[in-house]
Amino acid sequence: MNKKITFVTTFITLLLFSFLSHAEEPNHEKYISSFTSIDEKDCITLDSDDIGSIQECESFGDIGVRVVEGDIHQSIILTRKNREYILNFQSTVGIGFSTLGNIIEWRYERGKSKNIKGIIVRLEVNEDPENLDKITSYLMVSKITPNNICVVGKILPQVKQNELARAMLDSKEKLPCLKSNIKKH
């Protein structure tokens, strides 16, 4: 009889251990990410000439995405409810030539993709006109609120650059829009 009890106890213990080791830990992140492409091959060209182009890329929810290129600078225009929000990255990172990465990271409340906090996009910038190979790879952080969309941060290359950009959007702090650093004559 003791062998039966020992066997049953061992079996139940192993079964319970197996179940617990395969159970997923709850994810306590309040905000999560989804990604959409802004690669030229995945977008539709709306206008193009010798100076630049405008491409329409995949939307996220009710927010449309356009990639604009002009004078060897790239940026993004987000659209919502017939309103355009020009992110004009050049005005916040400087006048160097720039190219966008291939994806937009959308941060939003877990389970509520309509509650978008903002976007993160990579921007490669040449800040040295004497050395075109010298590139700085920023992460541009833009907030999305019901009344405004604007650039709120630029994260310099560093360890955990992506995590810092996400933490900026996920914070409870009110993020002010970055002011243009282009001097007006």
Nearest to 106 by CA among 33, 175, 37, 56: 33
Neighbours of 74 (CB within 10 A): 22
Is 157 a residue whose pLDDT tops 70? yes
Q: Contact at 8 Å (CB) between 53 and 73?
A: no
Q: Contact at 8 Å (CB) between 169 and 31?
A: yes
Listed range (22-26, 143-147, 159-163) with the worst mean pLDDT: 22-26
| 8-51 residue pLDDT tens | 333 333 333 333 333 333 445 899 999 999 999 999 999 999 88
Tokens representing residue 132 in the block: 């075109």
> Residue 168: enclosing H or E segment and its boundaries?
helix 161-170
Q: pLDDT grade, residue 181 (50/70/90)?
A: low
Nearest to 136 by CA among 119, 147, 123, 146: 123
| 96-106 residue pLDDT tens | 789 999 999 99
Tokens representing residue 28 in the block: 């306590």
| 124-133 residue pLDDT tens | 999 877 887 8
Q: Contact at 8 Å (CB) between 54 and 47?
A: yes
Is 184 a residue whose pLDDT tops 50? no
Domains of the chain by residue range: 27-170
Angle at 99 between CA 98 and CA 101, to 5 degrees: 140
Q: Which residue type sits at 121? A: V
Mean pLDDT for the chain overall:
83
> Residue 179: enclosing H or E segment and its boundaries?
none
Q: What is the pTM of this model?
A: 0.80
The whole-angstrom separation of Cα 147 and Cα 96 is: 30
Sign, Cα dihedral of 26, 103, 165, 144: negative
